[in-house]
């Protein structure tokens, strides 16, 4: 039952991510003990994008935490599509590699679609291959993109009944928006998808009991977009550093955020206006501390699943 409140209840991603990783760690250990096998994730990164380097580092660290083996293939910016294809093909045929991820975005010179389609669908732990996207669209998912899959786990963990809700997803990327809408549809929500060509965004979002936002614009979704009491999931991860912008978005909590800016040079903010949303929404994912942590946890879960399916191993 959704009720109107003055301060939204935070939906904590850290607790759920820790629980998922604990479960994976237990199953990986059981597989290692009984089958003498540990799953392996190969992470491929091309170029010098500092954000990509951080993401891959976090994924490798998570592998270490749950006992999954990992390989980090860091290639120079000058890598060609053909060279990257050769690496992907060599990982595809290796029996000791269960999951392959190529960190996106790839440098401009590389044909991203060709690379994604070259990954063996049974090792596609990001769930971006057309076969996995198609299976999800047909309601027969195997590997589901980690961010939307993590959001479903977050909702389930908090005992939020998805069935019958009016859900609105803002954003239609292959990575977040589209698979999110498919998963919510599969769970019997009534789903609306909004995007940059939507004529009246607020009219769409205000109908939503469950609003998932994945746009890539700091604080764009404000009070006027949110139905009072709605569950709001903020996928956005945007860096801001201007003092004025921090004040506008965080209100009373601005000082704390400005300390972060002073220390790191920026603070992270989602696509949802945090101060306004917390006054209107019933539940709200924080940024950071919400969806981002779940993405990495679900990657671990998908890698374990790939090993389990490929080797016919039960953990
Ligand atoms: P994309 O840029 O691929 O997609 C953005 C989507 O937002 C597009 O569908 C676009 O519409 C839509 N959009 C853009 N502007 C508007 C607007 N003014 N009104 C309505 N819709 C708009 O981004 P991603 O889906 O990859 O990522 C979205 C955000 O989520 C980013 O901040 C990203 O950093 C974050 N992210 C976070 C993750 C996590 O783990 N927390 C994981 C992945 C992403 P159109 O299709 O018409 O162009």
**For ligand 1, atom 19, which residue shows the shortest CA distance?**
196
Task: Please tell me the distance from the alpha carbon of residue 212 to that of residue 226, in angstroms, as a whole number.
Answer: 11
- Give pLDDT tens digits along the chain (315 positions): 444 446 899 999 999 999 999 999 999 999 999 999 999 999 999 999 999 999 999 999 999 999 999 999 999 999 999 999 999 999 999 999 999 999 999 999 999 999 999 999 999 999 999 999 999 999 999 999 999 999 999 999 999 999 999 999 999 999 999 999 999 999 999 999 999 999 999 999 999 999 999 999 999 999 999 999 999 999 999 999 999 999 999 998 999 999 999 999 999 999 999 999 999 999 999 999 999 999 999 999 999 999 999 877 665
| 267-269 and 238-240 beta bridge pairing | antiparallel
Q: Which domains does the chain have, with CATH numbers?
A: 36-120 (3.40.50.10860), 145-292 (3.40.50.720)
Which residues sit with their C-beta closer than 6 Å to ligand 1? 147, 170-173, 175-177, 194-198, 201, 214-217, 235-238, 291-292, 295
CB 204 within 8 A of CB 168: yes
Q: State the CB neighbour count (10 A cutoff) for residue 274.
A: 20
Element (H, E) at 255: helix 254-264
Cis, bond preceding 66 (omega within 30 deg of 0): no
Q: What is the Å distance from ligand 1's center to 196 Cα?
A: 10
Report CA torsion sign: 114, 116, 119, 120: negative
Catalytic residues: 59, 103, 126
DSSP-derived 3-state class of residue 285: coil
| 99-102 and 166-170 beta bridge pairing | unpaired
């Amino acid at each position: 039952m959704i009720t109107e409140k003055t301060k939204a209840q935070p939906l904590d991603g850290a607790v759920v991510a820790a629980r998922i990783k604990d479960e994976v760690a237990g199953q990986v250990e059981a597989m290692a003990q009984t089958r003498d096998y540990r799953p392996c994730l190969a992470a491929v990164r091309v170029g010098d994008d500092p954000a990509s380097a951080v993401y891959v580092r976090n994924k490798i660290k998570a592998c270490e935490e749950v006992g999954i083996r990992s390989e980090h293939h860091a290639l120079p910016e000058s890598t060609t599509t053909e060279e990257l294809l050769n690496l992907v093909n060599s990982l595809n045929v290796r029996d000791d590699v269960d999951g392959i991820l190529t960190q996106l975005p790839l440098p401009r010179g590389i044909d991203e679609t060709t690379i994604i389609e070259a990954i063996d669908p049974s090792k596609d732990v990001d769930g971006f291959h057309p076969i996995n996207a198609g299976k999800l669209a047909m309601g027969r998912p195997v590997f589901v993109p980690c961010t939307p899959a993590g959001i479903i786990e977050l909702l389930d963990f908090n005992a939020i009944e998805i069935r019958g809700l009016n859900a609105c997803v803002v954003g239609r990327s292959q990575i977040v928006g589209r698979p999110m809408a498919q998963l919510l549809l599969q769970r019997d929500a009534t789903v609306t998808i909004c995007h940059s060509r939507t004529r009246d965004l607020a009219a769409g979002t205000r109908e939503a009991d469950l609003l998932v936002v994945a746009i890539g614009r700091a604080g764009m979704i404000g009070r006027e977009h949110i139905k009072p009491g709605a569950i709001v999931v903020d996928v956005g991860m945007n860096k801001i550093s201007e003092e004025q912008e921090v004040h506008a978005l965080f209100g009373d909590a601005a000082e704390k955020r400005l300390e972060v800016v002073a220390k790191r040079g920026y603070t992270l903010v989602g696509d949802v206006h945090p101060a306004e949303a917390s006054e209107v929404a019933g539940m709200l994912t924080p940024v950071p501390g919400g969806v981002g942590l779940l993405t990495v946890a679900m990657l671990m879960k998908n890698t374990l699943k790939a090993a389990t399916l490929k080797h016919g191993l039960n953990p």
